[in-house]
Amino acid sequence: MAEYKWPDADKRTFIGKRISRIDGPQKVSGRAKYSFDINRPGMLFGKIVRSPYAHAKVKGIDTSAAERMPGVKALHVVSDVGTEIFWAGASVVAVAAVDEPTAEDAMRAIKVEYEVLPHLVIDTDVNNAGEYAKPANENKSGDPDKGFSEAEVTMEGNYGLPVITHCCLEPHGSVMEWDDNNVLAHLSTQAVSGSVAQIARPLEIPATNVRVQQDHIGGGFGSKFGPDEWDITAARLSKKAGGKPVKMFNERDAELMVAGARPSAYAHVKVGLKKDGTITAWESQSWATGGQGGGSSPPLPYIFNIPNQRKQHTALTNHIGSARAWRAPAHPQGCAITMTALEDAAAAIGMDPYDFFMKNIELTGQRANIYADELKIAADLIEWKKNWHARGDRTAGPIKRGLGLSIHTWAGGGHASDCDLTIQPDGSIELKMGTQDLGTGTRTALNIIVADTLGLPMNAVKITIGDSRFPASGGSGGSTTIGGISASSRRASLDALDQIFAKAAPSLDAKPEELEAVGGAIRVKGNPSKSLSWAQACSKLAATPITVRGKNPGPGKLTDQGVGGAQMADVSVDIETGIVRINKIVAVQDCGLIIDLKTAESQVYGALIMGVCWALYEEKIMDAKTGRMLNPNMEFYRLAGIADIGELVVHMMTGKGYDERGVIGLGEPPAVSPGAVISNAVANAIGVRVPYLPLTPDRVLAALEKKGGNNARI
Amino acid sequence: MQDDDNVKDKGSGLSRRTFLKASGISLSVPLVMGYRVIKVSGAEVKLYGPGKVPLTLSINGKSYNAQVEPRVTLLEALRNELDLTGAKRVCDRGTCGACTMIVDGKAVYSCSTLAIEAQGKSITTVEGLMQGDNLHPVQQAFIDNDAQQCGFCTPGFVVACKAFLDKNPNPTAEQIKKGLGGNTCRCGTYMGVRAAVAQAAQKGGRRNG
């Protein structure tokens, strides 16, 4: 029996090294096929007529003109007469035609009548939301009245961040093919294995008749966990068109309107503290929205378990496209509100927030030492003690510079994951798994683990993923993929190696447990001269390949959960224009044993850049009167460009104390803090808090005009 | 839908239809199947459509034929008619650069270029950057510096970087930031892209002209 653990540091060939992603050549050459790139023989193009109203009832639908158009092959009514519509952009009628221009013409020929109903799309005013506001009960811990009475200083402020949208570059959608009783789905999804049942159920066919394929996905970030209504609609159109494949992907405006919303969060916060920095109490009234389901309730206060709390949260339902998971759901909101309020609290007593965080670090619980270590390293990297100044840059001129900090956490862990590892008698190796590579480097991690375990070069192993016919592996969410897939592939590799050892042992005149796989050979430990090449050893399988099923969960401690990180930002603000520029952001992050340092660092860089986007630019701007999104495009739904991100520094906590924890997910934690660190740095630079993200020039100027801008209107 | 012909020309105060009448347009016999040549104020103008017209494009040194409506963009013609899917449709209105191609030596947004307008021009797409099995230095630099995650913006970025280096063989860090501002990445690979462009510049990003 193999011992299920990770190799010691001195025995790792690829694990933890900087390895280039194995699908890099496919991606840089344009040969990587995304679901959006799939072209099938006889394929039709699907388009959707969408509601222009945020809240309405469908009164009439006339598709007769579209039906008569040459080239139109199928129509499907998604929201029939009488159906209530809850957001602008909701699907009403779908059409499939021989090409995109014909499908567009058909859309325009379809007439829909609506009875327009009252709507709410603005979420900043909870007091005037009426029936849409659903307050929860007050949540109390300790004795908040006593905590505030003991406080020498009480800081009060408003904080918040709006709904933002995922804006995946590959829009949501699929190529659906429903022929006879089988559905072939080329879906853009974060859950290849998990989408099968979600397609079968609404189509009322056995799940065994559904196959999901996806080689590459152009972004998900939490918004692509299964087929959407329009994917199911594409399948129905395919059936109506006699089984012809139908390509149905959102246009960019629809993608931003209906296919992704990170809930907003707003809060009025009170922090009680003593002049020495001791925090005595927390109070918050918060609200959040994310469409009909309301928003998630952010964890407040975030990480710091402040004694004596009083909290009340209100879920606000409104008429925008539904909320979807976004990288570390609820954490960025909880973090942005808490860490900015605590920074304001430190400013209220004239304390350096670094010292303030360190003074209260025990409130972070069992990971306090790690946070402290990470804050120290981050402070060195950004030269905190040299560059920090009390709130408000007093130097002359309009450009003010400031520093901000934050900490964050996330669970990670490893999801359920199965894989099949096949070793052929000629020595060739293939690992099959029904997982997906979101660009996080899943393929590469699998390749590293199998090659490292079998003592072979990377290119000796074939990794095949992205097909629901392979052993099922979990959806890529919650930063659970790397833990799940690395554990199951390690177990499969160790078990397969056991079988090879057993076959090779007689020829080497040794016992199987005396063998090791190193440098392309199976050899006797301590006697490298007694060895077989990998190919010679595999030839002992005679004619029959072996296939080993790897599983997670399983024996041995290969994964863990719970990570932390510290970030610090250095920004410059032009107080005449209100423009914020990032000078530098430092991220210090732990994630247990790192499989591929190169792609791990990329995850953190990417999280910081995504954070710059939502700290400075991103907002789903809704029009109160029409109920429509005003910026459903990429000119006015701005993302950071290559010049907007300053200098980014990533420091991964690795080695002793981290490696032995096993593999822990990384995609989400570093995406939590950027809003807080940038907001804190801006407050430090200009001397007042800009209460609401994104920190657009108008908000910065408004806060400056108000002075003490904490209560400035949005 | 507004009738396009009735849209007022704001500059002249004439509707387009009136303008066409007033300027004495003469229709000549079609020279090539697919478009007619009309004279507008003495200048010859090609008039395509409204139905499908034959299209000939020179892409990566090869000639391709298709039948498309005149309103079809260069990007859609390649993706939907020719199965050249390296360039991506993302913003579809000239903002994000995922569709970048090189047309007659210049980086263009192919989502904002009509296919019929690209006829007779030399088009280079991401598929045309490799020489046999060998990656272009820009492509290799993207891999070495992990300038990609999901990879959906990558083909457009690679092509934009090649075009940029063709014009700026030895760019400064500031020129890189400015010159590649027309491409958007959602995963956040800009640090890798900066390093990749610097590496490719050193190793001769100008290969392949």
Domain identity same for B60 and B41: no
Domain identity same for B15 and B71: no
Strand order in the sheet with A56-62: A84-85, A56-62, A111-116
Measured between CA atoms, the residue of chain A closest to residue B67 is A99
Q: Is residue B16 part of a domain?
A: yes
Domain identity same for B194 and B174: yes
Q: What is the pLDDT of residue B33?
A: 58
A9-32+414-552: CATH topology is Aldehyde Oxidoreductase; domain 4 (3.30.365)
Q: Is residue B186 part of a domain?
A: yes
A649 in reach of chain B (CB within 8 A): no
Q: How many CB pairs under 8 A join A and B?
A: 174
Closest CA to A534 of A508, A490, A500, A495: A500
The interface residues of chain B toward chain A in range 179-198, judged by CB-CB distance below 8 A, are 180-181, 183-194
Domain identity same for B116 and B79: yes
Interface probe for B, chosen from A17, A22, A27, A47 (most Cβ of B below 10 Å), is: A27
Residues of B in contact with A645 (CB under 8 A): 188, 190-191
Domain boundary among B80, B110, B128: B128
pLDDT digits (tens, 9 = 90+) for A240-280: 999 999 999 999 999 999 999 999 999 999 999 999 999 99
* Alpha helical stretches, state H, A225-367: 229-240, 252-258, 331-348, 353-359
Q: What stretch(es) of chain A map to CATH 3.30.365.10?
A: 9-32+414-552, 330-412+560-711
Residues of B in contact with A221 (CB under 8 A): 186
Write out the CATH class of domain A35-118+172-249: alpha beta
Measured between CA atoms, the residue of chain A closest to residue B92 is A252
How far lies B63's CA from each of B70, B130, B132, in Å? 19, 18, 18
CA atoms of A25 and B139, how far apart (whole Å) = 8
Domain boundary among B73, B107, B128: B128
Residues of B in contact with A25 (CB under 8 A): 135, 139, 143
Bond from prior residue into A307 cis (ω within 30 degrees of 0): no
**What confidence tier does B209 reach under pLDDT thresholds 50, 70, 90?**
very low
Q: Say whether B146 and A99 touch across the interface (CB within 8 A).
A: no
C-beta of residue A566 within 8 angstroms of C-beta of residue A588: yes
- Report residues of chain A scoring pLDDT below 50: 709-714
* Alpha helical stretches, state H, A404-441: none
Q: Is residue B207 part of a domain?
A: no
Q: Is residue B208 part of a domain?
A: no
Domain boundary among B93, B128, B163: B128
Q: Say whether B80 and A99 touch across the interface (CB within 8 A).
A: yes
pLDDT digits (tens, 9 = 90+) for B95-145: 999 999 999 999 999 999 999 999 999 999 999 999 999 999 999 999 999
The encoded tokens of residue A642 equal 């290559």
Q: Say whether B130 and A29 touch across the interface (CB within 8 A).
A: yes
A610 in reach of chain B (CB within 8 A): yes
A549 in reach of chain B (CB within 8 A): no
pLDDT digits (tens, 9 = 90+) for A158-207: 999 999 999 999 999 999 999 999 999 999 999 999 999 999 999 999 99
Structural domain count of chain B: 3
What is the three-class DSSP state of A622?
A: strand
Q: Is residue B209 part of a domain?
A: no
| Average pLDDT of span B64-76 | 97
Q: Is the pLDDT of residue B208 over 80?
A: no
What is the CATH classification number for the domain harbouring B144?
Answer: 1.10.150.120
Domain identity same for B57 and B117: yes
What percent of chain B clears pLDDT 70, i.e. is strictly above it?
81
Interface probe for B, chosen from A18, A21, A28 (most Cβ of B below 10 Å), is: A28
What is the three-class DSSP state of A552?
A: strand
CA atoms of A536 and A557, how far apart (whole Å) = 32
A42 in reach of chain B (CB within 8 A): no
Q: Say whether A252 and B91 touch across the interface (CB within 8 A).
A: yes
Q: Say whether B98 and A169 touch across the interface (CB within 8 A).
A: yes
C-beta of residue A413 within 8 angstroms of C-beta of residue A557: no
Measured between CA atoms, the residue of chain A closest to residue B150 is A439
Domain identity same for B69 and B90: yes
A34 in reach of chain B (CB within 8 A): yes
Residues of A in contact with B158 (CB under 8 A): 28
Q: Is residue B41 part of a domain?
A: yes
Q: Is residue B36 part of a domain?
A: yes
Domain identity same for B179 and B166: yes
A330-412+560-711: CATH topology is Aldehyde Oxidoreductase; domain 4 (3.30.365)
Domain identity same for B58 and B105: yes
- Print the domain residue range for B101: 53-128
Residues of B in contact with A31 (CB under 8 A): 86, 127
Q: Say whether A24 and B142 touch across the interface (CB within 8 A).
A: yes
pTM over 0.90: yes
Q: Is residue B74 part of a domain?
A: yes
B173 in reach of chain A (CB within 8 A): no
pLDDT digits (tens, 9 = 90+) for A675-704: 999 999 999 999 999 999 999 999 999 999
Q: What is the pLDDT of residue A168?
A: 98
Nearest-CB residue to A101 (from B72, B90, B129)? B72
Q: What is the pLDDT of residue B30?
A: 43
